[in-house]
Amino acid sequence: MSSYRLPWFIVLWSVLSPLPGTAAWFDNYQTYAAYQQKLGEYAATYPTLTTLSTIGNSYEGRAIPAIRITGTGSAEVAKKTVYLNGMMHAREWIAGMVPMYIADRLLTGYGTDPRITSVLDNTEFMIVPMSNPDGYEYSRLTNRFWRKNRRPNGDGSVGVDLNRNYGYQWGLNSGSSPFPDDETYRGTGPFSEPETVALRNVALADQDVVTHIDFHSYSQLILSPFSYTVDPAPDQDLLVQMAHTMADSIQDMHGKIYEWDDPFLYLASGTSIDWMYGDQGIYSYTIELRPTSSNPGFLLPANQILPTGQEMFPAVLDLAEYTMQLAGGDFDVNDRFECADIDRLVRGIVLGSNKAELDLSGDGLLDGLDVVDWLARAGRANLASQASYLPGDANLDGSVDGVDFNLWNSNKFTSLPSWCGGDFNVDGLVDGSDFNVWNAYKFLSADSIVQVPEPALNLLLAGLVAAGVFRRTAF
């Protein structure tokens, strides 16, 4: 019951001032043409931060636009990509507005908001807000509840469900339909549709994609791979941990609960997240946006566009920060650099991994340079100096000593792609050449790397050259 009043002009100013994302554009659902125009405005207003492109054309020939956004500051890690796409399903209108809102907030916040600035200086965003433009225009103008694309199927029916058309476990009758008339019709073959080809090619062309969100509505859920089976994904713990973090941030904004602890909804095969994760090793999510249930379902009122975008934005920043953490070598995102991380890297190099974050050096190859980069980063973090771990330091305690010899000795002559088990030259075998690495550095401590960086690097690389160099895209 305060008698204090703000002057009228302050009240008016605060209502009308352009706070982030309050522009009229997000007060209503927009046409395909308006999306195109807005993306053009972003590119014109922020030329140093953006790259506008067309990733392909829809069945009816509409351009599928994309905007790449990244900062101009210096990166602490080799930049990895966060890939967002939206509105694969035509009637899920909010799922196109949210990625536009995210682009808006990134661009308007860069250089003023420290969190956004750090995220953009250390990652890239690839944003495809409207994945199914033909379906969207049809939903807007003719049939509001249209879901699929607009390909004529030849039997009088129209449309393929793009989220059953991806080429990982495509064609299972559990979770997709062979009948053209059905809402979950999977098409005549994997990637038979120009829209899914375009969306796939983004990930194939950019081998630095680490994380991905495919926005849908509705139900308020964060779903992760796999959707074709109830079996847990190999990275289930990590996927669920990141989902939990995102759900907490969403709830902090406006109190909305997005379920995260049951990544499995119903069987769906040929989904985007299954291909992104299963084929490309990308940590991928379907986020089902507002509302919770069929009333109002797809007909989410336009006054909920902004709050839905606002609650999603911090979750996307969380995912981008996880991406940075992964790109920095903390592969299990537990805030520690330990054996689990370097062993994951060594196994990835020796056995062939499709995980972009393992390419720490950012040169497109998984090889000894990534190990050297990891040893340097981990040493700096763990030893709190300019020190780097030395080859031969199996237990990562900062010195090459008898404990490391014992680790090598207990595994010697086994096939074990494990740094911490003694595979110091990263060739998959614990053998005499690893002993030679240990021997060359024995009784040196991590600080010595400052004096002898070259031999350390050379020894490691010699082993790797002998073992062959692994190109990530080959897998």
Stretch that binds ligand 0X9, among 39-47, 234-242, 265-273, 364-372 (CB under 6 A): 265-273
Instruction: Using the minimum distance from each CB to Zn ion, give the nearer residue, 29 or 46.
Output: 29
The reply to whether 36 sits near ligand 0X9 by the rule CB under 6 A is no
Tokens of 453: 């960086």
The contact pattern for ligand 0X9, residues 394-423, with x = CB under 6 A and - = no contact, is: ------------------------------
How far is 372 from 355, CA to CA, in rounded Å? 18
Closest to Zn ion by CB, 89 vs 212, is 89
Say how far apart CA 421 and CA 416 lie, in whole Å.
7
Residue 264 CB, nearest distance to ligand 0X9 (Å)?
6
For the record, the structure tokens of 213 come out as: 């969100």
For residue 288, indicate whether it is catalytic.
yes
- Letters for 104-143 (x = contact with ligand 0X9 by CB under 6 A, - = none) are ----------------------------------------
Judged by CB under 5 A, does residue 216 bind Zn ion? yes
With contacts defined by CB under 6 A, how many residues of the chain interact with ligand 0X9? 12
Instruction: Choose, by CB under 6 A, the member of 50, 81, 85, 163 that binds ligand 0X9.
Output: 163
Backbone angles phi, psi at 383, to 5 degrees: -100, 0
Q: Please, which contacts does 343-347 make with residues 24 or more away whose CB atoms are closer than 8 Å? A: 343/417, 343/418, 343/419, 343/420, 343/421, 345/370, 345/371, 345/374, 345/419, 346/371, 346/417, 346/418, 346/419, 346/423, 346/426, 347/417, 347/418
Contact assessment for residue 450 and residue 386, using Cβ atoms and an 8 Å cutoff: yes
Contact assessment for residue 317 and residue 245, using Cβ atoms and an 8 Å cutoff: no
For the CB of residue 215, give the shortest distance to Zn ion in the complex, in Å.
9
Tell me if 286 contacts ligand 0X9 by CB under 6 A.
Answer: yes
**Cα 372 → chain centroid:** 25
Nearer to ligand 0X9, 89 or 200 (CB): 89
Tell me whether residue 91 or residue 472 sits nearer to Zn ion (CB atom): 91
Q: Contacting ligand 0X9 (CB under 6 A), which of 89, 105, 150, 186?
A: 89
**Partners of residue 56 on adjacent β-strands:** 64
Closest CB to ligand 0X9 among 220 and 418? 220
- 438 exposed, middle or buried (CB, 10 Å; 0-12, 13-18, 19+)? buried
Q: Which of 268, 276, 360, 416 binds ligand 0X9 (CB under 6 A)?
A: 268
Pick from 139, 173, 140: which is nearest to 158 by CA? 139
Binding mask 178-217 for ligand 0X9 (x = CB under 6 A): --------------------------------------x-
Pick from 223, 289, 375, 446: which binds ligand 0X9 (CB under 6 A)? Answer: 223
Which range of residues in 96-104, 186-194, 213-221, 289-297 is near Zn ion by CB under 5 A? 213-221
What residues numbered 8-67 form the site for Zn ion, per CB under 5 A?
Answer: none
Q: Is 51 helix (H, G, I), strand (E, B) or coil?
A: strand
- Range in contact with Zn ion (rule: CB under 5 A) among 77-85, 138-146, 208-216, 368-376: 208-216
- Assigned token pair, 203: 């990930």
Closest approach of Cβ 225 to Zn ion, in Å? 16
Residue with tokens 């054309």: 57
299 is a contact residue toward ligand 0X9 (CB under 6 A): no
Q: Which two tokens stand for residue 412?
A: 């010697």
Is 448 exposed, middle or buried, given 0-12, 13-18 or 19+ CB atoms closer than 10 A?
A: middle
268 versus 429: smaller Cβ distance to ligand 0X9: 268
Least distance CB 265 / ligand 0X9 (angstroms): 4
Applying CB under 6 A, does 91 fall inside the site for ligand 0X9?
Answer: no
The single residue of 92, 195, 288, 357 carrying the catalytic annotation is 288
CA 102 – CA 431 distance, rounded (Å): 51
The gap between the terminal CA atoms of the chain, to the nearest Å, is 67
Which DSSP symbol is given to 110? Answer: T
- Write out the binding residues for ligand 0X9, residues 224-263 only, by CB under 6 A: 227
Neighbours of 117 (CB within 10 A): 17
Q: Shortest distance, CB of residue 94 to ligand 0X9, whole angstroms?
A: 11
User: Is 196 within 8 Å of 60 (Cβ atoms)?
Assistant: no
Q: For 78, phi and psi rounded to 5 degrees?
A: -60, 130
Residue number with CB closer to ligand 0X9 (236 or 445): 236
- Please list the active-site residues: 288
Residues near ligand 0X9, by CB under 6 A: 89, 92, 163, 216, 223, 227, 265-266, 268, 271, 286, 288
